[in-house]
Amino acid sequence: MFENVREDFHVYAKFTGVKELKGFPGASWINETRRFLAALWLFPFSSVLLFRAKIWLCKHHVPILPRLCDWINMLVWRVQIADSANIGPGLCISHGEIMIYGEVTAGRHLTLNPYSGMGLVHKRRVSHPLERFGGPTIGDNVFIGAGAYLFGPIKVGDNVRIGASSVVTHDVPSNSVVAGIPARVIEENDEMRELVDEEEAD
């Protein structure tokens, strides 16, 4: 959980625009603290924290508290993410208003914009009741635009950008841009800006 949260914080810390202090002992600590506070005050970093806490509590079978996390998340940020969501480190919810349901698996550095989400398809016939819960499987560095929705047990590759207000119902190849209702690939081999940390790159 804490590795995930650290990665999430690094993603948000880039957006905070806190001025770097230098030249005295403890400067880096102060920088980190200011970044953390800025991420909490100015961005929905707290909603990501609550989500991670909820997953951790669910894993340890703590009663009631996960629901409380859900409720705070919904009241404050209108973020609803199901317990079954398995989202990798570096999750960035840019402004709240997210809805994620079903057995979702996402890789690193997923960016979610407002009114976007993932849902289930209403299947008529299934061989097993759990088959109805199939959600998208998403790769790394995926950017989901505002109002875009992903439905059903689809596969989305790495470095994909999904346009605003699109409805994705089929598989998406890696390094592509998709948009429209239903979503079509509008650009292949797109060079997405790298979201890898500077520290990792070194």
Q: Is the dihedral of CA 81, 82, 83, 84 positive or negative?
A: negative
DSSP calls for 11-50: HHHHHH-PPPP-SSTTHHHHHHHHHHHHHHHHSTHHHHHH
Determine, following the binding rule CB under 8 A, whether residue 78 of this chain makes contact with other proteins.
yes
Q: 168 with 153: CB under 8 angstroms? A: no
Cβ proximity to other proteins, 18 vs 168, nearer residue:
168
Q: 192 with 161: CB under 8 angstroms? A: yes
Kindly indicate which of the ranges 10-18, 26-34, 70-78, 137-145 contains the residues binding other proteins, using the contact rule CB under 8 A: 70-78
Parallel, antiparallel or unpaired: strands 116-119 and 86-87: unpaired
128 is catalytic: yes
Cβ proximity to other proteins, 36 vs 133, nearer residue:
133
Please report how close the Cβ of residue 81 comes to other proteins at its closest, in angstroms: 11
Cβ proximity to other proteins, 13 vs 177, nearer residue:
177
Q: Pick from 4, 16, 159, 166: which binds other proteins (CB under 8 A)?
A: 166
Kindly indicate which of the ranges 26-34, 114-122, 137-145, 153-161 contains the residues binding other proteins, using the contact rule CB under 8 A: 114-122
